[in-house]
Every structure is written in structure tokens, then in C-alpha cells.
Amino acid sequence: MDKLVIHGGRPLHGHVAASGAKNAALPILIATLLAPGEHRIDNVPELVDVSFSLSLLGRIGCPSLVHPGGVSRVRLDTTRIAFSEAPYDVVRKMRASVVALGPLLARCGHARVSLPGGCAIGVRPIDQHLKGLEALGCEFELSGGYVNGRVDHLRGAEIHLDMPTVTGTENILMAATLADGVSVIHNAAREPEIVDLARFLRAMGARIRGEGTSTIEVDGVPALRPARRPYRIMSDRIEAGTYLVAGAITGGAVTVEHAPVDSMEALFASLRRAGCEVSTDGDRVHLRRDGPLRPVDIETAPHPGFPTDMQAQWMALMSLAEGESTIRETIFENRFMHAAELMRMGARIELDGGTARVRGVQALQGATVMATDLRASASLVLAGLAAQGHTEMLRLYHLDRGYERLVEKLQGLGARVRRVPDDVRVTALPAAEDAAPGDPGRAAI
Ligand code: EPU
């Protein structure tokens, strides 16, 4: 396994491009199951979670071809479905596999999907997915850790979600596209990735209105067909936001290209209040911080509120603010696993249920850290970039699930960061440009 070694304390400068959005790519790849035939999807990020999705589709009987030189274009053939099943060994690695339930039921009339169970950030049940699909006529039985679903006739229905679940809305939306009649999803999630999924479904012939609002209406159609043109997945707002925070935490100036700027307002507003200059120009975002970091309280909320997927990164930033801030996590019950690791780097954080009180310190110190989930890992990388000395981040595989070419992108911004095998000991670390070329005795970053 690899680890990340970071030599912190250097302001980041330059341009970085946002990749395709993980949380749009996963449901869009799975949504191809709804329409038999050949699909072409562009801007698919090269991530472990994308590989998991393609291998799940392969297990179902739908081969894919990844364009040589990376997975920015994927071709998928969903002509035949051999097994309508998402087995435990796939779902346990990627809980988003549960979005196969709606498409498989709509396409095959039956599906067997492993229950995802809890994860590092919370219990994460799927009761709302099942409730919505039941309203459309599906019947479920749970046995042996699996949800077995059947449906003879999908029919449109009014569905009231108890909370605006993102993948739950996606599952129901996908099934509703092939239902007989009109479906209305009330209290639907409004995340931009759902808007992207709806656009993709529409390109395959679905009739959908209201995506991006809390009421989505779907007129079911008898069949969908592959989109006529390659579909381009939206850019990743969380990845883009993470690079902006990298600029902010190091007191640098970063431009993120291809950013989905319209979906990032809550983060921009918080960054401005924290003392950063943030401006946009088309799909570019420029961030600069010259002055001190001011403490800013945030509370996570469904879109368009402050995204829970940026909460951990925000905590790293606030660890260095001049004063005390409060972070309230309202979406997941256990999403502060990064706090203890940040404290090992010198952050002063008190946790009280879903609230973290962060008292800014003058400096963080590098340490060996590890994280239990993707965004927690991102937060530790950010802390490492700002910290004095060395940080080694173990369990790098979390980052590979959600950040495409993270090391190269950070290096492009001037960060001293390197990926090395776990057993390589990296000690005195000159900056890459200071190291003697070809000096084998030193592992420079
Ligand atoms: N919930 C239920 N019942 C349900 C569904 C959800 O109680 O049937 C609860 C969850 O336990 C949670 C809350 O509702 O407390 C919201 O969960 P949601 O279902 O919206 O989350 P998700 O769909 O499982 C997606 C993203 C997450 C992101 C959340 C919130 C994907 C593949 N995942 O998860 O992304 O944090 O929405 O925005 O889209 C990440 O990228 O790091 C990540 C975790």
C-alpha cells in the first residue's frame, strides 16, 4: 500500500482543473442499465469508485471499454443483462452500488442487491429508497443481508421522502422513468449531481421536470434508448472546493478550471467570510488569501446549503483561523473522524455530539495520520499542506476513491507532496527543485 508524504508550509499557486464529478458519474454509469444498447460517457474521472461501478456493470453482464490513456471516455454495452444482482463483495466496497436497485427493477422486474450496512460516517439506512420504490409498485423482502425486489408493473406514484436523500432520490427517479404514468417525488434532494443525472436520463428519452428543486415530476415512458451523443459528466464541485481550500489554508492563490461554479455558492460565501478573495470568470474560480484567516461558523445542510462533503476540509481550514468557530454536522451522525487526527497535528477541537468547536492555532505540526473515509483524508492532506514539517498520510486508498490524480494536481500547484510505498522511509525532504537531480540516496518531494 502507498502513503502520501507532504512537506508543508508552502503557499500553493497556480491552476488546476476539476475532473468529472464522482457522485454524478456513479449513478450515470449505472443509469445506462435502463436503456439497452451502446452508451458513450465522457469526463468520467479515473477513480477507484468508477472502477467499482464498471466492475459491477460487468458482473451484471454489461461490458465496458475505457478509452486508452484514462477513463475520461467510457463505452458501455447494456444490450443484455445476465444477472440482476449487486453482490455483497461489490456493495461493501462501494455503498453507492445500491443505486443499481431502481434501474435493475425497472429493466428486469427483479433485482437482488446487498444491503449496504453502515459505514465510517454513519448508519446510512436505505429505508427511503425502498419506500419510494414500493410506492411505484415494487415489493421487497430482506433475507441473508440482501434486498430481493420484484415488480410486475411499475406505476407512477406520489412519493414523499422523509429526508432529501441523494442516492434515494436517484434510485426512485431512475425507476420512475420507466413507470406507467406520472410520478412526483416530494422533498427530493436538490444536489447538482441529481440535475446531471436527470439531464442524462432526458438524453436517453426520459421525461423529467423540476430536477434541482424539491419536487421532481416524471412522466414515465415505455422504453429508453442510449443518448445519441456522448454524454459529458459535470465537474466535481467537492474536488474543486478542496483545491480552493488548499489555496486558502496555505495562504496562496489558486485558480480552479472547469469548476461547476453555480453549484458552489455556499462554499464561496464561507471562504469570503474567512478572508479569502474569491471571484469567478466563466467556469474558472480564482481564490487568493493574503490576510489572516477569520473564523467562520458553518452548518452542513442539503444543497444549496454548505455541503457535508466539504465539512472535514473546512475543519482543517478553521484549525488555523484567528479565533473560535463552530462546525455543525447535520447530515451524518458520525462524520468527525478527522477531528482526532487533526488534533494530533496540533489543532484544538472539542466535539459535542454533532457540533465541533474549533479554536484556531498559530500553526499545525506535521504528523503521521490516517483517515477512515474520503473527505476526512482530504482534510488531513490540507492540514499537511499548511503544517510545519512532515506529514505522512496512511490509508491512501480512500483518496483514490474520490480525487483523480491528486498528487500530480497538488504538485502542479507547487506542493511538496509524494506518493511512496508504505515501507519507504522518507526523512529529510528537500523541495523537488532543490534536490540534486538523480540523487538516489534521497527521497525528495
Ligand atoms: N438516510 C436515511 N434513509 C435513507 C437514505 C438516507 O435515513 O433511506 C439518511 C442518511 O443516513 C443520512 C442522510 O439521510 O443521514 C443523507 O444521506 P443521503 O442518502 O443523502 O446520502 P447518500 O445518498 O448515501 C450521497 C453522496 C455522499 C454525500 C451525501 C450527502 C453519493 C454516491 N454519495 O450519499 O457522498 O455525503 O449524498 O450529500 O452520491 C462522498 O462523496 O464523500 C460522500 C459520502
**Domain span at residue 65?**
22-232
pLDDT value of position 432: 46
pLDDT value of position 334: 86
Question: Which ligand 1 atom sits closest to the C-alpha of 23?
Answer: 39
For the segment 407-425, the average pLDDT, to the nearest whole number, is 93
Residues 366 and 379 in one domain: yes
pLDDT value of position 435: 38
Tell me the CA–centroid distance for residue 388 and ligand 1, in Å.
35
Tell me the CA–centroid distance for residue 444 and ligand 1, in Å.
39
Residues 14 and 72 in one domain: no
Catalytic residue among 62, 108, 119, 276: 119
CA distance 63 to 56: 10
AA letter at 372: T
How many other CB atoms are there within 10 angstroms of residue 427's CB atom?
8
Q: Is residue 420 within 8 Å of residue 5, measured between CB atoms?
A: yes
pLDDT band at 424 (very low <50, low <70, confident <90, very high): confident
Question: Which ligand 1 atom sits closest to the C-alpha of 331?
Answer: 15
119 is catalytic: yes
CA distance 12 to 253: 6
Cα dist. 113→123, 127, 375, 395 in Å? 18, 14, 26, 28
Q: Which one of 174, 197, 232 terminates a domain?
A: 232
Residue nearest to atom 13 of ligand 1 (CA): 331
Asked if residue 98 has pLDDT above 90, the reply is yes
Average pLDDT, the chain: 93
CATH number at residue 355: 3.65.10.10
Asked if residue 232 has pLDDT above 60, the reply is yes
Nearest to 215 by CA among 198, 201, 231, 202: 198
Q: Residues 138-174, buried b or exposed e (16+ Cβ, 10 A)?
A: bebeeeeebbebebeebbbbebebeebbbbbbbbbbb
CA distance 52 to 401: 9
259 lines ligand 1 (CB under 6 A): no
Q: What's the domain count of the chain?
A: 2
pLDDT value of position 349: 98
Residues 243 and 304 in one domain: yes
Residue nearest to atom 31 of ligand 1 (CA): 23
Residues 284 and 357 in one domain: yes
49 lines ligand 1 (CB under 6 A): no
pLDDT value of position 443: 43
Residues 40 and 7 in one domain: no
Q: Is residue 335 within 8 Å of residue 368, measured between CB atoms?
A: no
Tens digits of residue pLDDT in 38-50: 999 999 999 999 9
pLDDT value of position 428: 55
Residue nearest to atom 28 of ligand 1 (CA): 309
Asked if residue 134 has pLDDT above 80, the reply is yes
Asked if residue 177 has pLDDT above 50, the reply is yes
Question: Which ligand 1 atom sits closest to the C-alpha of 238?
Answer: 41
Residues 76 and 206 in one domain: yes
Tens digits of residue pLDDT in 341-380: 999 999 999 999 999 999 999 999 999 999 889 999 999 9
Residues 126 and 269 in one domain: no
pLDDT value of position 120: 76
Tens digits of residue pLDDT in 287-318: 999 999 999 999 999 999 999 999 999 999 99
Tens digits of residue pLDDT in 241-263: 999 999 999 999 999 999 999 99
CA distance 29 to 406: 23
Residues 57 and 134 in one domain: yes
pLDDT value of position 126: 93
Residues 322 and 215 in one domain: no
DSSP assigned state of 430? -
Which strands sit side by side in the sheet containing 158-160, from one edge to the other? 158-160, 182-186, 215-219, 207-209
122 lines ligand 1 (CB under 6 A): yes
| Residue that wins the pLDDT comparison between 169 and 437 | 169
Residues 104 and 119 in one domain: yes
188 lines ligand 1 (CB under 6 A): no
pLDDT value of position 132: 98
Longest dimension (CA), the chain: 70
224 lines ligand 1 (CB under 6 A): no
Q: Which one of 188, 213, 232 terminates a domain?
A: 232
Residues 216 and 330 in one domain: no
Tens digits of residue pLDDT in 48-84: 999 999 999 999 999 999 987 666 899 999 999 999 9
**Alpha-carbon Rg of the chain, whole angstroms?**
22
29 lines ligand 1 (CB under 6 A): no
Residue nearest to atom 2 of ligand 1 (CA): 125
Q: Which one of 177, 211, 232 terminates a domain?
A: 232
306 lines ligand 1 (CB under 6 A): no
Percent pLDDT > 70 in the chain is: 95
For the segment 431-439, the average pLDDT, to the nearest whole number, is 40
Most informative mutation of 167, 237, 311 for ligand 1 (most atoms within 8 A of CB): 167
Asked if residue 436 has pLDDT above 70, the reply is no
Question: Which ligand 1 atom sits closest to the C-alpha of 189?
Answer: 20
170 lines ligand 1 (CB under 6 A): no
162 lines ligand 1 (CB under 6 A): no
Residues 215 and 249 in one domain: no
